[in-house]
Amino acid sequence: MQNDISKILDKLPFACISISKNKKVLYFNYEAKKKFIFLKENIKIDNIIESEELNEKIDNSFATNKENNLNFTPLNFQDSFFDANMVFLENDKKELTIFFTDESLKRGYEKMRTDFIANVSHELRTPLSSIIASVETIQNNANNDKTAQIKFLESMGKQAWRMSRLVEDLLTLSKIESDDKELHFESINVADLVQGVVDNLYNKADKKNIKIRIIKNTDKLNVKADYDAMMQVFINLLDNAINYSKENSNITINFDEETNNDKLYLKISITDEGDGIEKKYINRITQRFYRVDKNRSRMQGGTGLGLAIVKHIIQRHQGELEIKSKVGIGSTFSALFPSQENIKIL
Residue 269's H or E segment, with its range, is: strand 263-271
DSSP structural state of residue 47: G
The CATH number of the structural domain formed by 104-181 is 1.10.287.130
pLDDT tens digits, one per residue of 233-255? 999 999 989 998 999 999 999 99
pLDDT of residue 121 exceeding 70, the answer is: no
**Residue 64, pLDDT score:** 94
- Provide the greatest CA pair distance for the chain: 90
pLDDT at 345: 43
C-alpha 238/C-alpha 244 separation (Å) is 10
d(CA 223, CA 75): 52
What's the CATH code, domain 3-102? 3.30.450.20
pLDDT at 2 over 70: no
- Closest by CA to 311, choosing from 301, 322, 303, 302, is 322
**C-alpha span between 9 and 336 (Å, rounded):** 48
Choose between 140 and 254: higher pLDDT. Answer: 254
DSSP secondary structure letter of residue 246: P
Of 183-192, 200-209, 289-298, the least confident: 289-298
Report which residue type is found at 158. Answer: K
Sign of CA dihedral 173, 179, 182, 184: positive
Helix-then-strand count for the chain, H and E? 11, 12
CATH of domain 182-346: 3.30.565.10
pLDDT of residue 139: 72
Cβ-proximal residues to 214 (8 Å cutoff; 6+ apart), any chain: 191, 194, 195, 198, 252, 253, 255
Burial of 128 (0-12, 13-18, 19+ CB in 10 A): middle
Calculate the CA 191 to chain-centre distance. 29
Comparing 311 with 286, the larger pLDDT belongs to 311
Range with the lowest mean pLDDT among 86-90, 174-178, 206-210, 272-276? 174-178
Letter string b/e over residues 3-25, b meaning 16 or more CB atoms within 10 A of that residue's CB: eeebeebeeeeebbbbbeeebeb
pTM: predicted TM-score of the whole model, two decimal places: 0.56
- Res 111 pLDDT > 70: no
Contact between residue 312 and residue 321 where contact means Cβ atoms under 8 Å apart: no
User: How high is the pLDDT of residue 108?
Assistant: 66
Per-residue pLDDT, 346 = 43
Instruction: Return the number of other C-beta atoms located less than 10 Å from residue 45's C-beta.
Output: 23
CATH 1.10.287.130 domain range(s) in the chain: 104-181
CA distances from 145 to 134, 136, 288 (A): 13, 14, 41
| pLDDT over 70 percentage in the chain | 84
Nearest Cα to Cα of residue 6 among 101, 102, 95? 95
- Please give the average per-residue pLDDT across 222-231, as a whole number: 91
Amino acid 145: pLDDT: 73
Cα Rg of the chain (Å, integer): 29
What residues have CB less than 8 Å from 226, skipping those under 6 apart?
Answer: 183, 184, 185, 186, 317
